[in-house]
Amino acid sequence: MADVKQLVSMLQELDDNLVGCMRCGMCQAVCPVYGATFQEGDVTRGKIALLENLAAELVENPQGVSEKLNRCLLCGSCQANCPSGVKIMDIFLRARAILGTYQGFNLVERAIFRGVLQQPGLFNSLLDMGSKFQGLFVKDASNVVGTSCAPLFNSIIGDRHFPKLAKAPLHQKYASLDIPAGKSGLRVAFFPGCVTDKMFPNVGEACLKVFQHHGVGVFMPKNLACCGIPALASGDRTAYDKLVTANLAKLAQGNFDYLVTPCGTCTATLKEIWPLMADSLPADQREAINRLHHKIMDVTAFVVDVLKVTLPEAQTGGKKITYHDSCHLKKSLGVAAQPRKLLQSNSNYEFVEMAEADRCCGSGGSFTLKHYDLSKTIGQRKRDNIVQSGAQVAAAGCPACMMQMMDMLSHNHDNIAVKHVMEVYAESL
């Protein structure tokens, strides 16, 4: 049973954040969920109306509240477009935490968030074992896109097409790294993120190649934990706090100038969400987060803005490549020009802009697991824009977006490859 005093305190804090919403409806025009359903309850304005009566709604219909709050990608489009500057991501994350505190979590959620994710060594071992036996359950879906499917598990995961678990994840190739600064005089802490580590180790290796080429030292401690956003987005504040605490302890073991990650979601979580949700952490951990804040960067921004590498002019005549702006990169962090510059620096490609490049692809992490049909509807629009651009390759700066685009392209039998920006740049070195 939830602690009543704790709930009251959380509800009061939430109320303080709700007063800025003017119900202007500017969020409606940019919400990808509303764009797919045209239901007022799916747009930010509708959810805020629900939250204003949250205490009563929790008592009367907690499951209904949960369903409405979770029909949100947490993409930040509404916040980026809000003329009043309402901190909508703060509101929704805290509302989900209230709901989680009130309702509690089922056995599966507790096992994942408070068990497996909090033990990175166990998490790695389980998925390492899964990669060895996945051939028994999955079959190839698209060799061009690089996807598989698992018809036996459609009732659980939906008819999704996905990249297989890597045979050799990044943590097997590089358990830890402690490389001193080279010619750049700089050293980074490298936070690859779970999806890069276990599904796209080639992205992590591309980053390491770039660091080596430019003489950047690398600190990567063994068994970094999940950044915490899956737990927080599901309302498990306790599990989230423990994951942040574990990562802070790991990062405190090394000295570095910047903390970089190839995952837009991880970058936004570490840089924006960690300080935002630090109020329940001890003072020393809050201070550590504040010290880290200005060091945290997306890897493409680090290469362009900090290393200031000399890049050739955009080329024509190569394979056409387009770029999807991951929501957390552009809308939360303002990173949009840097990845495009890196893509244009590879003479084997000709960069073409797609329509609605910064419109959400429909992934949203756990959103696609809980609302796959809706996620596919949103993702189909992204796929259509990729195809209409005439590109042979689609690039992104977030592994979750890469997975979503791969799923949509594979389902449509499109011969379009998906790459991370850093893979394309590393190819040119």
Q: Are 382 and 326 in contact (CB under 8 A)?
A: no
- Percentage with pLDDT > 90 across the chain: 68
308 conformational bin, left if phi > 0, alpha if psi -120 to 50, beta if neither: left
- 345-381 per-position pLDDT tens digit: 999 999 999 999 999 999 987 788 888 999 999 999 9
Which has the minimum average pLDDT: 2-11, 133-142, 369-378, 392-401?
A: 2-11
Q: Which of 46, 79, 103 represents a domain boundary (last residue)?
A: 103
Identify the pLDDT of residue 85.
Answer: 87
Does 312 map to a domain? Answer: no
Which has the minimum average pLDDT: 150-164, 323-337, 369-383?
A: 150-164
Identify the pLDDT of residue 239.
Answer: 95
**Closest CA relative to residue 143, chosen from 366, 418, 360:** 418
Identify the pLDDT of residue 16.
Answer: 66
Identify the pLDDT of residue 164.
Answer: 95
Does 185 map to a domain? Answer: no
Does 71 map to a domain? Answer: yes
- Total domains in the fold of the chain: 2
Q: Which domain holds residue 356?
A: 319-427
Q: Which of 87, 103, 119 represents a domain boundary (last residue)?
A: 103
Q: Which of 74, 103, 132 represents a domain boundary (last residue)?
A: 103
Q: Pick the residue with more confidence: 315 or 5?
A: 315
Does 59 map to a domain? Answer: yes
Does 232 map to a domain? Answer: no
Which has the minimum average pLDDT: 135-149, 210-224, 294-308?
A: 135-149
Q: Which one-letter amino acid corresponds to residue 216?
A: V
Q: What's 56's domain CATH number?
A: 1.10.1060
Considering the chain, what is the average pLDDT of its residues?
91
CA atoms within 13 A on the CB side of 43: 21
Does 310 map to a domain? Answer: no
Which has the minimum average pLDDT: 17-21, 91-95, 278-282, 382-386?
A: 17-21
The band of 1, judged by pLDDT with boundaries at 50, 70 and 90, is very low
Instruction: Using the predicted structure, report yes or no on whether residue 4 has a pLDDT greater than 70.
Output: no
Strand 319-323 versus strand 393-396 pairing type = parallel
Instruction: Using the predicted structure, report yes or no on whether residue 390 has a pLDDT greater than 70.
Output: yes
Residues 237-243, mean pLDDT to the nearest whole number = 95
Does 135 map to a domain? Answer: no
Does 137 map to a domain? Answer: no
User: Nearest-5° angle of CA 34, CA 68, CA 32?
Assistant: 20
- Which tokens belong to 264? 């837009």
Q: What's 422's domain CATH number?
A: 3.40.50.10700
Give the strands of the sheet with 319-323, arranged side by side. Answer: 349-351, 319-323, 393-396, 417-420
How many Å is the maximal CA-CA distance in the chain? 65
Instruction: Using the predicted structure, report yes or no on whether residue 291 has a pLDDT greater than 90.
Output: yes
The band of 63, judged by pLDDT with boundaries at 50, 70 and 90, is confident
**Range of 17-26, 37-46, 199-208 with top mean pLDDT:** 199-208
Paired residues of 351 in beta bridges: 321
